[in-house]
Amino acid sequence: MPRATNAAASRQRRKRVVDAAKGYRGNRSKLFRYAKDATTKAKVWNYRDRKTKKRNFRSLWTQRINAAVRAENTTYSKFIANLDKANIELDRKILADLAATEPAVFKEVLKAAQAA
């Protein structure tokens, strides 16, 4: 009885991995042996960096808010504490967007927070 290798399925599996590595540099995009390692590593980085992206954006929003409130002679920590006291429930993403695109509205929020 001839040896069965399931060649079609094996070829499809390898082709899927090499296609996923399209755009990688050198052998990593052409040879299955290297493409397999490259795509596996890429998945690890992808998972890790989805978490890191959230951290980076929160840091960016904090920096933008801090720059906006320092222009009004206060600090970020005092501003956030005053927001809590005033029961103003705007998250950092919205506050940073207001500070960058709508400075007049941001000043109103700042005044409302300081009034509390």
pLDDT in tens, 27-55: 999 999 999 999 999 999 999 999 999 99
The whole-number pLDDT of residue 56 equals 98
Q: Can you read off the two tokens belonging to residue 56?
A: 């980076």
pLDDT in tens, 55-91: 999 999 999 999 999 999 999 999 999 999 999 999 9
Contact 29, 22 (CB under 8 A): yes
For the chain, what are the domain ranges?
A: 9-115
HSE-up of residue 24 (Cα within 13 Å, Cβ side)? 22
Mean pLDDT value of segment 84-103:
95
Q: What are phi and psi of 90, to 5 degrees?
A: -110, 130
CATH of domain 9-115: 1.10.1900.20
2 burial level (CB within 10 Å; 0-12, 13-18, 19+): exposed
Instruction: For the full predicted model, state whether its pTM sits above 0.95.
Output: no
> What residues contact 62, with CB distance under 8 A and at least 6 apart?
76, 92, 96
The whole-number pLDDT of residue 40 equals 97
The whole-number pLDDT of residue 111 equals 95
Contact 18, 32 (CB under 8 A): yes
